[in-house]
Amino acid sequence: MKSLMLGNAAVARGLYEAGCSFIASYPGTPSTEITEEAAKYKEIYCEWAPNEKVAMESAFGASLAGKRSFCAMKHVGLNVASDPLYTCSYTGVNAGMVIGVADDAGMHSSQNEQDSRHHAIASKVPMLEPSDSEESREFAKIAYELSEKFDTPVLIKMCTRVAHSQSIVDTEDRKEVAVKTYEKNIAKYVMSPANAIKKHPVVEQRTKDLTAWAETSSVNKTENNNSKIGIITHSTSYQYVKEIFGDSVNVLKLGMVNPLPVELIKKFAAGCETVVVVEELDPIIENHCKAIGINVHGKDILPICGEFSQNLIVKCFKESGIASLADVVKDYSAETKFKLAENVPVRPPVMCAGCPHRGMFYALSKNKITVLGDIGCYTLGSAAPLNAMEMTLCMGASVSSLHGFNKALKAESEGKTVAVIGDSTFMHSGMTSLATIAYNQSNSTVIIVDNSITGMTGHQQNPTTGKNLYGDPAGRVNLEALVKSMGINRVRVVDPYNIEQCEQALKEELAANEPSVIISRRPCALLKEVKHPGPISVNPDKCKSCKSCMKIGCPAISMKDGKAKVDDTLCVGCKVCTQMCKFDAFNV
């Protein structure tokens, strides 16, 4: 049956059709919807894990038990999960194990622009990369076949455009797969040095066998249009190439990006006078071609940074200085540009009206406190007008960086520097960071901004919320008890809607001569179960146009005709702005 599906939903459909039984993931844009969509199939058990490493290890355990498993994460999440990845490449699997990773070229929601193909190469694990929703469904099924045939975990690499674009998918029925019997096998599954030494040659031979498979597999497709120009490409770049050139050039689309075929590429290149590799981010296919003796163009004419588009590829071909490439795009003038979103005005992200983090960040900014931040929607505390966050590195780094910062500067920084980390991020990586503060006793204050949900990726549950992925009651981690059990004696909870309370807590904890934790607790304003008092308004006769209320950066507040104005379609009535006004201009 044909259906219109997001790429992520199509991956989930492929997992279902392939007989997947177990999924553990950590939410990370642009991969999150794979697990959310898979949870709609009653045949698949799904869960949110505290972090990606735990998710992958859980999926490995399910595979070991004999059931096809899956885990999903974004590219930086694969860094966290790289420890089990590199070793389960050696152990291999029992039932099929597939790992979804979603890259974010253009950094729409990420702190870096890394290329996950490097992880596939380094871990010596095969990687498939679909270019549309139907391939996303199909490749998920092929991945399980590869996993069990070659005794290996298999990576499926998505990217923002494939994950979040829709195209037609031809769905099929689920294939029920018999549970594989688990058999004790110490030599296979215990990676002590003596066993691992024996497995490395096995992995190398597997790579050779997979390369041979890639030479003839249907996931790699050649389109011979009798052109002198050949383009080797993959993923969304293939879609751009087809939209620009149609059938006017030869195309080799690579669906398996690790290991890459050799003879197939040589044969394709032999039929062309000029070969161009069109790939986003790093020149992995290009370098492979050059390593096997093929002269190709690639990053000499195309950028290594950012997303590609049809217009960008046309521009680069025109400006390449290569006559044949400029000629093939000569018909594309400025008037015939592809209609893309390139001219849409930029709308920078801001914390929502009523965001519980705003009051705490205002208190931090007002008191000129140095803030080392973390990954979450609260990272927007770095934006104007608050400008309250000065560092964001990776999940959990705020806390451990604060420890190092204060150990280095001691009294110079201890009374005026804090870490800010979300509840979900604290469970992900913050606990071990806080452990080093408690253990090594830096005089550090950590603020856990607990909004009762994983906010940035779309309101997923986490171990502190008391609900599982399905919204059912689950084990709940008590943050206060956890922090105290780790050796932090000074723990207090504040309401971030109360600026005076936040300031008082900051003053007292920063003055203390021992580690402390402030839990800033208020549910996310967008949670359905949160009831708001409703919008407030401004009495223009009392407003003195001082713009103090603008200092908190609430999108519901603006200035009109020299007076503050509240947008009642946005305002939730948090009353943080009323605490800024000395003239009682707000009607509560």
Name the residue ranges covered by the structural domains of the chain.
2-179+187-216, 221-343, 357-521, 537-587
User: Residue 195, exposed/middle/buried by CB under 10 A (0-12, 13-18, 19+)?
Assistant: middle
Report the C-alpha gap between 155 and 143 in whole angstroms. Answer: 8
Report the C-alpha gap between 553 and 447 in whole angstroms. Answer: 21
The ranges of the chain with pLDDT < 50 are none
Q: What are the CB-based long-range contacts (under 8 Å, 24+) for 581-587?
A: 581/548, 581/549, 582/546, 582/548, 583/542, 583/543, 583/544, 583/546, 584/542, 585/538, 585/539, 585/540, 585/542, 585/543, 585/544, 586/536, 586/537, 586/538, 586/539, 586/549, 587/536, 587/537, 587/538, 587/539
Question: Given the DSSP bridges, would you call strands 557-560 and 563-566 parallel, antiparallel or unpaired?
Answer: antiparallel
Residue 500 has a pLDDT of: 97
Q: In what order do the strands lie in the sheet with 417-422?
A: 391-392, 370-373, 417-422, 445-450, 516-521, 490-494
Domain 221-343, CATH number (from 3.20.20.70, 3.40.50.10090, 3.20.20.10, 3.40.50.920): 3.40.50.920
List C-alpha distances in Å: 409 to 275, 389, 402, 404, 489: 56, 19, 10, 9, 23
Report the C-alpha gap between 28 and 102 in whole angstroms. Answer: 9
Answer whether 85's CB lies under 8 Å from 143's CB. no
Cβ contacts of residue 310 below 8 Å, gap of 6+? 240, 243, 244, 338, 340
Residue 330 has a pLDDT of: 84
Report the C-alpha gap between 84 and 64 in whole angstroms. Answer: 14
Residue 489 has a pLDDT of: 97
Answer whether 493's CB lies under 8 Å from 516's CB. no
| Identical fold, 221-343 and 537-587 | no
Superfamily in which the 2-179+187-216 domain is placed by CATH: Thiamin diphosphate (ThDP)-binding fold, Pyr/PP domains (3.40.50.970)
DSSP 247-266: TSSEEEE-SEEESPPSHHHH
Give 7's Cβ-side CA count (13 Å radius).
25
Q: Give the burial string for 212-221 (b: 16+ CB within 10 Å, else e).
A: ebbeebebbe
Answer whether 285's CB lies under 8 Å from 232's CB. yes
* Domain 357-521 fold: Rossmann fold (3.40.50)
Tokens of 424: 């979900």
List C-alpha distances in Å: 450 to 47, 357, 366: 21, 9, 21
Answer whether 287's CB lies under 8 Å from 256's CB. no
Query: Which residue, among 477, 407, 408, has the nearest Cα to 442 in the 3D structure?
Result: 407
Helices 193-216 and 133-150 cross at an angle (nearest 10°) of: 130
Answer whether 21's CB lies under 8 Å from 45's CB. yes
Cα 275 off chain centre by: 33
User: Residue 396, exposed/middle/buried by CB under 10 A (0-12, 13-18, 19+)?
Assistant: buried
Q: Whole-structure pTM over 0.75, yes or no?
A: yes
Cα 41 off chain centre by: 23
Cβ atoms within 10 Å, residue 108: 12
Answer whether 43's CB lies under 8 Å from 470's CB. no
- Statement: 537-587 belongs to CATH 3.40.50.720: no
Query: Which residue, among 391, 438, 440, 382, has the nearest Cα to 419 in the 3D structure?
Result: 391
Helices (H), 319-370: 323-328, 357-366
